[in-house]
Amino acid sequence: MRAAFAAVLGAFAVANVSASTLTKRLLCPYGTYPNVTNNNECTPCAPGYYCTDDMQRVCPFGSGSPNIGASTCPCVPGFYSASGTTSPYGCRYCERGTYNPSYSQTSCPTCPENTYSIGTASSCTACPNGRTSPPGSSYCDCLPGQRLDPGNYQCYTCGPGTFSSGGRVATCAFCPANSYAPTTGSASCLTCPENSTSDIGATTCKCNANFRMNGNGQCVPCGEGGTSEPGSTVCRCNANYKLENNVCVACGPNSYSDPGATTCKCKAGYQMVNGACVACPAGQYSVAGNGYCNGCLAGTFSAAGDPQCTQCPSGLTSAYASGTCGCPGANSWSTVSVRAARPDPLLRSVRRFVRHARQRRRRARARQAANVPEDRTSPQLTVRLAAYNARQACTPPLGRRRAGIALHERTRPPAPPPAQAARRARLPTYSTLRIVPARAAPYGRTTTA
């Protein structure tokens, strides 16, 4: 097309030159053309033009003249012809994988190894970033983990979950099942570790049920104290287990935990001391899970480790935070004082009767207490024993009463004066009194002996 256009321009230039001018001018040699202002001078052709037959023409496509005064147009770099010039068939462009570094070449050499050209190249381009190519390549092979776009011969990185072996592969393949590719640009897929699985095109592997993935990417078992869902990274601990360093550990003595808990709590009646559950002291109690003890209210008591306070038996009481119940006020045997005066004989007999009755009750309670049920830790037994001990505490022991009587005998007051003794002798005694029952009498009358 450019050659035809140059021919038209040459014809136009010839048409504009008058016949008289042509007859008077000199004949210019090749590479020059007549000067239109001075017929006796010839002007050299400008670069990019060639002159023949006193005409200046533009070099055809693929050719050019780098210097002035050219009579032919040699093929430019990147093009070639059998003669090295445009005559007679014009210049042709170098094919892909070839190049032409200079003017007037009759052929295009092949690009060497690890270089490429995309056609009409004056030189071959080296493959970037370590990529390679065979001799005469129009593009470079892709690196592992890349795919080749056949449209523009560019390499693109494969995404996560896919891989490529490189070369001239046009697509990135998905990782098969039980394998994964966590990052972009993977040359191959990694095999899932033991006790784990994955789907096609996965970026990670999921641990099986009752396994968790540790920091090293391995699936370790949760153990007997924990469970997990497939794909979980943590274990869920069962009841009475806690999560410690991602491992389910059994709770210590006197403690418990709910399913899925990370810490253990103290049972009722225990408190947390230095990380261990210790029984609450007597007179105190605790609610399950609180971890601290509270004092029992007045009128209630508790033994060490009791989960709650128990009401004192009837007739007994206790102070705040007390472990036992006792007699109220001055009714305790420890505060009862022994009378200094010698008791009356009738009163002494009554006391003897009371003493024997108490002894019989003690023996009965002892026999009843001996019949202990198998469950010695039952709350009913605890209450019974506490009540029995409290009643025993309120009753002075027999030995102490006898000691008081002996003390009275040793500290007997002296004999009364004679007048007082005579006055006492005239009074009737219990031994001389005689009570006669009343006789039957008419209505409204009473008869005595």
Q: How confident is the model at residue 315 (pLDDT cuts 50, 70, 90)?
A: confident
* Kind plus residue range of the DSSP H or E element containing 3: helix 2-15
More confident residue, 182 or 151: 182
- Give the Cα separation of 220 and 140 in Å (integer): 45
This prediction has a pTM of: 0.45
Nearest to 202 by CA among 235, 218, 169, 178: 178
The answer to whether 354 touches 346, Cβ cutoff 8 Å, is: no
Residues 6+ apart with CB under 8 A from 340: 408, 411
> Could you give the angle at which helices 379-394 and 345-370 cross, rounded to 10 degrees?
160
89 — pLDDT class (breaks 50, 70, 90):
low
Between CA 393 and CA 362 the distance in angstroms is: 12
Asked if residues 299 and 314 have their Cβ atoms less than 8 Å apart, the reply is no
3-state secondary structure (DSSP) of residue 271: strand
pLDDT for 412: 59
Q: DSSP class of residue 213?
A: E
Predicted confidence band of residue 170 (pLDDT cuts 50, 70, 90):
confident
Contacts of 347 (CB under 8 A, 6+ apart): none
On the question of pLDDT at 155 being above 60, the answer is: yes
Q: By percentage, how much of the chain surpasses pLDDT 90?
A: 24
pLDDT band with cut points at 50, 70 and 90 for residue 166: confident
Mean per-residue pLDDT over the chain, rounded: 78
Cα–Cα distance for residue pair 84/420, rounded to 1 Å: 175
Distance CA 308, CA 438 (A): 62
Pair 43, 34: CB distance under 8 Å: yes
DSSP class of 442: S
Q: What does the block give as tokens for 103? A: 């003017």
Whole-number Å distance between alpha carbons of 120 and 99: 7
Q: Is a pLDDT exceeding 50 seen at residue 316? A: yes
For tokens 């998905």, name the residue: 174
Rounded to the nearest 5 degrees, what angle is found at the Cα of 223, between the Cα atoms of 219 and 226? 100
Bond from prior residue into 88 cis (ω within 30 degrees of 0) = yes
Which of the four pLDDT bands, split at 50, 70 and 90, describes residue 401?
Answer: low
Q: Residue 187 in contact with residue 175, Cβ under 8 Å?
A: no
Phi and psi dihedrals of 101, rounded to 5?
Answer: -85, -10
Q: Whole-angstrom Cα distance, residue 181 to residue 443?
A: 124
Concatenated DSSP letters for 287-354?
-TTT-S-EEPPTTEE--TT-SS-EEPPTT-B--TT-SS-B-SGGGSGGGPPPPSSPPPHHHHHHHHHH
| pLDDT bucket at 327, cuts 50 / 70 / 90 | confident
Confidence class for position 321, pLDDT limits 50, 70, 90: confident
Q: Check if the beta carbon of residue 181 is closer than 8 Å to that of residue 160.
A: yes
How far apart are the C-alpha atoms of 127 and 111, rounded to whole Å?
11
Q: How confident is the model over 249-282, as pLDDT tens digits? A: 889 899 999 888 888 999 999 999 988 999 999 9
**Percentage of the chain exceeding pLDDT 70:** 74
Q: Residue 281: which of 300, 302, 304, 254 has the closest Cα? A: 304
